[in-house]
């Protein structure tokens, strides 16, 4: 990944974070559910625990196709 690609990705992610911060809680919960993200608030510790289980990301299917066609 080039520096420009990294910067573009970071800018896109910060835009998403801004939108989610202002989103309706029900809509936000649905986005997190679709992304496989679970947030648990621990009030005694004043801590938010985040867990991610990405099921539809590049961990299963890569939108760029098979990047290593020699391995089967």
Dmax (CA) of the chain: 52
Mean pLDDT (whole number) for 58-62: 53
Model confidence at 58, in pLDDT bands (50, 70, 90)?
Answer: low
Distance, in Å, from the CA atom of 46 to the CA atom of 31, rounded to the nearest integer, reads 23
pLDDT of residue 68: 58
Q: Is the pTM of this model over 0.85?
A: no
Please state, rounded to an integer, the average pLDDT across all residues of the chain. Answer: 80
Nearest-CA neighbor of 20 among 11, 10, 30?
30
Please, which residues have CB within 8 angstroms of residue 9's CB and are 6 or more apart in sequence?
Answer: 1
Mean pLDDT (whole number) for 31-40: 88
Q: Is the pLDDT of residue 66 over 60?
A: no
Specify the DSSP element, H or E, that contains 52: strand 47-52
């Amino acid at each position: 990944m080039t520096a420009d690609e990294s910067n573009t990705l970071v800018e896109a992610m910060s835009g998403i974070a801004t939108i989610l911060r202002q989103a309706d809680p029900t809509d936000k919960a649905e986005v997190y559910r679709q992304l496989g993200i679970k947030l648990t608030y621990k009030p005694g510790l004043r801590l938010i625990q985040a867990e991610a289980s990405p099921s539809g990301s590049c961990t299963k299917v890569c939108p760029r196709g098979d990047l290593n066609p020699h391995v089967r």
